[in-house]
Amino acid sequence: MYSDLAALEEDSEKLVPALTRIRNAVDATQASNTKHSRGNEGIHILSVVVYAGDDQAARQASAIVVGDSFARDIVRENIVDVQKVLNGVADSVRCVSSYLSCFDSLTLFAYRASKAL
């Protein structure tokens, strides 16, 4: 338990609540999208920021972030259930993450088994 707390102290980002981290990510993405859209005529940026963890408040703060009014109009005019899209993306991220960690464990097991032979 104490080693877990020590690890948290080393990475202060883990001490910030998930909701705050997702809001910060949305704000940073908005600023970046706006900057790149303004400087590049004809480029319209839509980004997805999702929280794939279990914190419901952070999941609710997930967002489709646009860079300009044209991209915003695309989302508004094409009536999209944004929450369903975000939940689908978050579920996909969780699934892939789970698969990769399982894959990494199997790879490590296979490597150790081959070395034992």
Residue identified by tokens 């706006």 is 34
pLDDT at 116: 53
pLDDT at 24: 94
Amino acid code (one letter) for 47: S
Domain borders along the chain are 2-116
What does pTM read for this prediction? Answer: 0.65
User: CA 69, 71, 75, 77: dihedral to nearest 10 degrees?
Assistant: 60
Query: Is the model's pLDDT at 108 over the cut of 70?
Result: no
Q: Is 43 exposed, middle or buried (0-12, 13-18, 19+ CB in 10 A)?
A: middle
Mean pLDDT of 45-69: 87
Rounded to whole angstroms, the Cα distance separating 14 from 93 reads: 19
Largest CA distance in the chain: 62
